[in-house]
Structure 1
Amino acid sequence: MADGRGATEIPASVDARLKLSATGGLRASADINVVNASFGVTSAGFDVTDAATTLAGYAGNDPTALAAITGIQAMTLSPYSVVAEWTPPPQPERRIEWGYGRPVNVYDIAGRLPSVPVLRDRCRALAVLELIQGTGYEYYSYTAWGDDEAALMSNGSGDEYTIVFGEAGVFIRLFDHESAMSPYAAGDDMELWPGLLDGLPPEFAEHVTEPAFCHDDDLIATAVLWRRTTDDHWHAGAGITFPPSRGPYDISPDGTDRLGILCDDIVDGYVDFATDYYETDIDRNAVAHVAALRPLTDDVVRALNPESGLAAVRTEVAATGYPIASAVS
């Protein structure tokens, strides 16, 4: 971070974060200072509006922490233009080896997703595995969603999905910010890609206007899937025509390859993901324990994260509905 006093390099050990959501939300934090705001994309970057910050402040004197706080406040609370250089977080390698010989799309995923109970269990297990990593920013999470429950994925770079488990069934909304099918690619018109919602049952209509999924009143999605409680398979919009592939690394035109980890047993998928994303080895047997939804023990938590323990994650894990082993007296 550079200002009139000089330049300070902020190491990774300082927990400074800036998250931009696909629906125009911004959250920046450093130490105990948090700023929540809205942002709008401009030709030169983005404008921040409606910024609100916590009343608590940093009482220390670590120059790197102070620099991070100064930088965040400059980007979010200052009336002046700020130049920022951003290094994206490491992303797991995107690969699906289903033998299609072409990019994977929503119809492929619809044919591979498991039943609702199995899908819920896999989502819950992924969320618990992420909670145990203890980063404070989970790639996968599981939470209450009004009267329903939801599994979420967010990679911190603008790609995300939400799987809402409700009384009527399950609704999946996914957004890939680099996809040619993005509403933002349509310019000021913000048009949803044709066909995405064709055939959507009225039971799921409320999700199309869900504020968490929308920018202003426009649904932000590159893929939508659904399954009612009375259905025996998954559905997607009828007659979607996908954009042409942009090269050998364009493995999914709508970003639905990100749901691929849920289409098979998650053990190997999560081991590969965590090895890439966290750049560390991970105990496969412990991952298998969690994937099977066996009661969580202190030994399993420590096998996945030697710096943690069951006591440290008990409350958050319990909130997901995952079973926890009884304490031994």
Structure 2
Amino acid sequence: MISTRDLTGLPDVSSLRRLLQSLAMLDAILSPDWQYRYYSFNCHWAFGEEWGSMRNGSGDEFYALFNQHGCFLKGFAHEALMTPCRDNPPKLWPGLFSNVPPEFSECLNEPAFDIASTTFCIWRYHDGREWQLDDLKFPAGSDPDGSGDLLSILDGTPETYYVWAEEYYQEAWNDTSGLTRDAVAAVYRHQPLSNELVSAINSNLRLEDLADDLRDIGYPNQKKPA
């Protein structure tokens, strides 16, 4: 299981970026209504920066900012033992941001990150060999910062998203879009989006319906390769 205790299964920076684009594209097709999506990606976040995120609507979230140096990712699991809300007034876990490198320090002042609501943060350089985090003293428990739960989707396996989407979209929303494992795998491979692939995921949509999402996410399509 991917967590701050063991980050070996988390993709490198370039692969994580592609994966977050895939997750955002799949959610955009399955949920035309943006407010019900879990995953989003903005390849035009700021000059030289891109942004990926997950928000589950219940207070749990993670944000990943990609810049010229690499990626900074922070997460918040509201029921985790390390939640700032364990104290009154709320207080971040000691040492959580003590050694954030200068190349990513601006992330700590990014309003969209909501740094005050953080239970874990990690970073990696483009040429780095591994993900890093501060040397923290974790409380007892198998997943005290909630990273194991929030980062599990990032294992790079299409089956992981398929199983999640089948529950969230098909069971919770009674959706019969006919999502298949092959279609999910195609988007994970960054196969250029076509009307055929869109219809295989959501028969109610056409490629042109996704013009804004394609532009924001930067996902390749038959009209405009990435």
Bin of the TM-score, shorter chain as denominator length: 0.7 to 0.9
Measured at CA, do residues 223 and 191 of structure 1 come closer, stay the same or move farther in structure 2, by a change above 3 Å?
same
Query: Residue 156 of structure 2 aligns with which residue?
Result: 264
1:192-207 → structure 2 map (5 Å cutoff): 192-207=92-107
Deviation string 1:268-305 (CA, Å, 9 cap, x unpaired) is 01101101111255211111111100110101111111
Q: Does 1:306 align with 2:203?
A: yes
1:191 is aligned, of 66, 85, 91, to 91
Q: Contact (CA 8 Å) 1:296, 1:325: kept in 2 or not? A: yes
Q: Contact (CA 8 Å) 1:107, 1:236: kept in 2 or not? A: no
Partner SS state of residue 268, structure 1: helix
Q: Give the unaligned 5+ runs of structure 1.
A: 1-97, 99-103, 246-250
Query: Residue 126 of structure 1 aligns with which residue?
Result: 23
1:150-229 → structure 2 map (5 Å cutoff): 150-188=51-89, 190-214=90-114, 219-229=116-126
Q: How far 1:319 moved relative to its partner?
A: 2.3
Higher relative contact order (CA 8 A, sep 6+): 2
Distance across 2 between alignment mates of 1:232 and 1:150: 22
Q: Does 1:276 align with 2:175?
A: no
Q: Contact (CA 8 Å) 2:21, 2:40: kept in 1 or not? A: yes
Letter in 2 for 1:260: S
2:137 is aligned, of 233, 237, 241, to 241
Deviation string 1:21-58 (CA, Å, 9 cap, x unpaired) is xxxxxxxxxxxxxxxxxxxxxxxxxxxxxxxxxxxxxx
User: Percent sequence identity over matched residues?
Assistant: 35
Query: Residue 89 of structure 1 aligns with which residue?
Result: none
Q: Contact (CA 8 Å) 1:169, 1:228: kept in 2 or not? A: yes
TM-score (norm 2): 0.87
Distance across 1 between alignment mates of 2:24 and 2:3: 24
Q: Does 1:149 align with 2:50?
A: yes
Q: Which has the higher strand share?
A: 1
Distance across 2 between alignment mates of 1:105 and 1:289: 26
Q: Give the unaligned 5+ runs of structure 2.
A: none
Letter in 1 for 2:153: I
Q: Contact (CA 8 Å) 1:318, 1:324: kept in 2 or not? A: no
Q: Which runs of 4+ in 1 moved over 4 A?
A: none
Distance across 2 between alignment mates of 1:199 and 1:136: 35
Q: How far 1:166 moved relative to its partner?
A: 0.6
Query: Residue 135 of structure 1 aligns with which residue?
Result: 33
Q: How far 1:259 moved relative to its partner?
A: 1.2
Aligned residues: 213
Q: How far 1:141 moved relative to its partner?
A: 0.3
Q: Contact (CA 8 Å) 1:153, 1:160: kept in 2 or not? A: yes
Deviation string 1:216-236 (CA, Å, 9 cap, x unpaired) is xx6320000001234221101
